[in-house]
Amino acid sequence: MLLKRLFNTIKRKRYFIKIFLNEYVIASIFNNYSQNLSPGSIVYIADSNIWPGGLVDRLKGIISLYDYSRKHKLDFYIYLSNNRDFTNYLTLKNNNMYLNQLDRNMFKNKLCYHLDDTELRDLDSVIDRSRINHIYLNQNLLKYQNSNNDGKWHELYQRLFTPSESIIKNVEKVVSKYQKYIAFHFRFGPLLGDFDDNGFIWDESKQKDEIKIINKSVLKHIANYPTYNIYIASDSSKFVKQLYEKNQNIFFYNKLSNASMDNYEQSVIELLILSKAKEIVQFYRPNMKVLSFSKYASLIGDNKYQLIKI
């Protein structure tokens, strides 16, 4: 554990140095752009310098910083480079928060790099009231500060975001036929070979065995929801299609979905379909991933979430 913490600290410092040199030293020499933001302002950043995490990781960082800024009466802004921008699909209710450009003057601004900083609990020691705070963050800090942190996260999400008209229409296309449904979520990563992210892939025999085990558990749990349809959410189209064939009268899925960390439109659609379910059930087998996507979908929809370990 100590060794892992040391490794993560070294990694964060390395990325901090990379961003500082690239953006606040070298790039700022050739960029005369200047912003008139108030000292103490907080700017959430997700840019091409580093992978900032998926959609939910970005929402966690934004909402954590927004919560702090409201409590301490500090101005709050969001800067997203073009390839990190999801706000065409999950739009900001207050467009004045959105920065199209960023002043990287090293004397006016403080760079704070806290991606994957699991030791960070609050921002008191991070925020500089005399400078503008440029912060990379993907943690939900509310869980350390509020007794009803899930309810608070839901409230702040609703204050900040609303889906675009096109997203609302696309979600309705999938769910409009189903008055009430449960969502079953399965996160395989590369295990079933749908895509290659340099991760471990089960061989063909192992894939068949694991799918059989998961299917058995799924069909067993369907009995708990006799009056509901079941929405299948997964990053594996192979798994979704074979499960759908088991019972097309009960199961349904988003036939246009194409799992990708960079497809923000599909990520937002999937997030909102899950959030509208009566309950979200995530299934887990060894080597599968338990990330926060379905958990935070349940916070957005204020519905129940449970994890089933098979």
The domain spanning residue 182 has which CATH number? 3.40.50.11350
Model confidence band, residue 64 (pLDDT cutoffs 50, 70, 90): very high
Q: Note the pTM of the prediction, 2 decimals.
A: 0.93
Model confidence band, residue 261 (pLDDT cutoffs 50, 70, 90): low
Model confidence band, residue 199 (pLDDT cutoffs 50, 70, 90): low
As a whole number, mean pLDDT of residues 289-296 equals: 92
Residue 206: Cβ within 10 Å count: 13
Query: Is 12 in the same domain as 153?
Result: yes
pLDDT greater than 90 at residue 295: yes
Give 97's DSSP letter.
G
Domain boundary, last residue among 133, 163, 193? 163
Say how many domains are in the chain. Answer: 2
Query: Is 93 in the same domain as 148?
Result: yes
Mean of pLDDT over the chain:
93
Q: Quick one: pLDDT at residue 6?
A: 76
**Tens of pLDDT along 98-110?**
999 999 999 999 9
Query: Is 188 in the same domain as 134?
Result: no
Query: Is 230 in the same domain as 241?
Result: yes
Q: Give residue 61's domain range.
A: 2-163
Query: Is 118 in the same domain as 129?
Result: yes
Q: Quick one: pLDDT at residue 198?
A: 58
5 with 116: CB under 8 angstroms?
no
Percentage of the residues of the chain whose pLDDT score is greater than 70: 96
Cα distance between residue 158 and residue 272, in whole Å: 13
